[in-house]
Structure formats: C-alpha cells, structure tokens
Amino acid sequence: MSRARYWDHPATGERIWFNVYDPEATGEQLEALAWAEDIEIDDLLEASLSARAVLYRLNIFSEKVPLDVEIGRASCREKV
C-alpha cells in the first residue's frame, strides 16, 4: 500500500499531500489543521504531531471518519 495520502482543503481546493510514515508534519499540513480546528498553529508546533496524526484529524473534520468509529477508538484509548 502506498504511503502517500492527500486531503483537499475545502476553502481553497488545494490538495495537500501526506507521507503517512513521516514522524513530523510539515508546516503546510499544520496550517491546514490549524484552519480546520480553529486553533493557533503554535499549539500544534509544540505538540510535534506526525503527518499521520494530522491527516487523521483532518479526515475527522471532513467527516471521512464515521462518528461511531471515532467514538469506538476513543473508548479503546481510554481503556489503555
């Protein structure tokens, strides 16, 4: 399976590419997440998120991840 994934920015139509194996997200990816979640980019820079984590959060924002799947994953994380 390819490591390349993309997310289309709904406001600009720009396609942002992700290498899901990168340990750190790029500035462009973090800017998109900051826009989507309406948070300061400085907070995201401090969190040092991976490209995969940013893409996952953007997909939740875009409703590509069904709500029941996200609730199930969240409950599994709480059990650990």
Query: What is the gyration radius of the CA atoms in the chain, in angstroms?
Result: 13
Q: Compute how many other C-beta atoms are within 10 angstroms of the C-beta atom of residue 53.
A: 15
Residue 1: per-residue pLDDT: 60
Domain boundaries, the chain: 4-79
* Residue ranges of the chain with per-residue pLDDT less than 70: 1, 80
Please report, for residues 24, 27, 61, 68, 78, the alpha-carbon distance to residue 51 in angstroms, rounded to integers and kept in the order given.
Answer: 6, 10, 15, 23, 23
Tell me: the pLDDT tens digits for 55-68?
Answer: 999 998 988 877 77
Read off the pTM. Answer: 0.79
